[in-house]
Amino acid sequence: MNWQDILFGAEDSIFLLEIAFRTLIMFFLLFAGLRIIGKRAVKQLSIFELLIIIALGSAAGDPMIYKEIGIVYALVVFIIIFLSYWLITKLIEHSERMETILEGKPYCIIHEGKASKESLQHKELAMDEFFSELRTQHIFHLGQVESAILETTGELSILCYNPPDIKAGLPIWPHYLEKKTKQIKYPGVYACTYCGFTKTMNEGESNKCGYCNNNDEWVKAETENREK
């Protein structure tokens, strides 16, 4: 077993100093590049901006550790990436269609206490993921939510009803959802466990949700406004 090869590869230990110097240069180049892009947090980055950062990181990584790749090559890649970023940003500023293609658009997930028609048409938007996000905002049931929008940044913006306007809604906490049933035992207001659509149901009633047409399981709707 050759520890020289394991620890230093084909290069000698003096190359560590060169790596340190290369890394320092690339660090400041990356820092300058990110300053050009802006100060937004990672969670607020669009897919396009995230792609730019990945490209910059890939371009910066190789010159740090590969002796045969010079820093000038990485600098050329940086310049091309920044010029592309500037050009596409200008296109976005002058074209709403281009902005939608590159940045995406907000999606209304919850509307008036139930899943919006828009969210039901996009099967990739899983409702259980949004229930999880709503729970982190201390939402007890969908009847508290007037509107919830998935922003292009991946964040969920929530507009709640004022307490007097809260309506019956689907409880989104797991131990309440576990009480779902296909056949109603007691008359009352019930909510579809998939989309949150509510309706008054009678004892013994059993049918498919007429709003989402995707579910035949119901749970007793809640009206209570629980504070944090």
Q: Is the pLDDT of residue 38 over 60?
A: no
DSSP assignment string, 67-102? TTS-HHHHHHHHHHHHHHHHHHHHHHHH-HHHHHHH
Total H helices, total E strands in the chain = 8, 7
Sorted by sequence, the CB contacts under 8 Å of residue 113 that are 6+ apart come out as 142, 143, 144, 145, 146, 161, 167, 168, 169, 196, 198
Asked if pLDDT for residue 194 goes beyond 60, the answer is yes
Q: How open is the CA angle 99-101-105, to the nearest 5 degrees?
A: 70
Tell me what the mean pLDDT of segment 103-117 comes to.
85
Residue 32: how many other CB atoms lie within 10 Å: 11
Q: Which long-range contacts (CB under 8 A, 24 or more apart) does 206-212 make?
A: 206/182, 211/114, 212/115, 212/120
Dihedral (Cα; 169, 195, 145, 170), 10-degree rounding: 20
Quick check: 19 pLDDT over 70? yes
Q: Of 90, 81, 85, 71, whose CA–CA distance to 18 is shortest?
A: 71
Q: Which of 38-42, 54-58, 69-73, 128-132 has the lowest mean pLDDT?
A: 38-42
> Of 93, 94, 107, nearest to 152 (Cα)?
107
CA neighbor of 158 nearest in space, from 144, 172, 179: 144
Rounded CA separation 89/98 (Å): 10
Q: Using CA atoms, how far apart are residues 13 and 62, in angstroms rounded to an integer?
A: 18
Res 118: pLDDT? 82
* Residue 197 token pair: 């659509």
Using a 10 angstrom Cβ sphere, with 0-12 exposed, 13-18 middle and 19 or more buried, the burial of residue 125 is: middle
The closest alpha carbon to 25, from 66, 63, 67, 79, belongs to 63
Distance CA 40, CA 152 (A): 14
Mean pLDDT value of segment 193-215: 89
What's the predicted TM-score (pTM) here?
A: 0.62
Residue 54's H or E segment, with its range, is: helix 47-65
pLDDT beyond 60 at 36? yes
Q: Lowest-pLDDT range, 9-18, 124-133, 148-157, 183-192? A: 9-18
Distance CA 127, CA 9 (A): 50
Instruction: Give the pLDDT band (50/70/90) at residue 41.
Output: very low
Asked if the model's pLDDT at residue 31 lies above 80, the reply is no
Residue 45 has a pLDDT of: 62
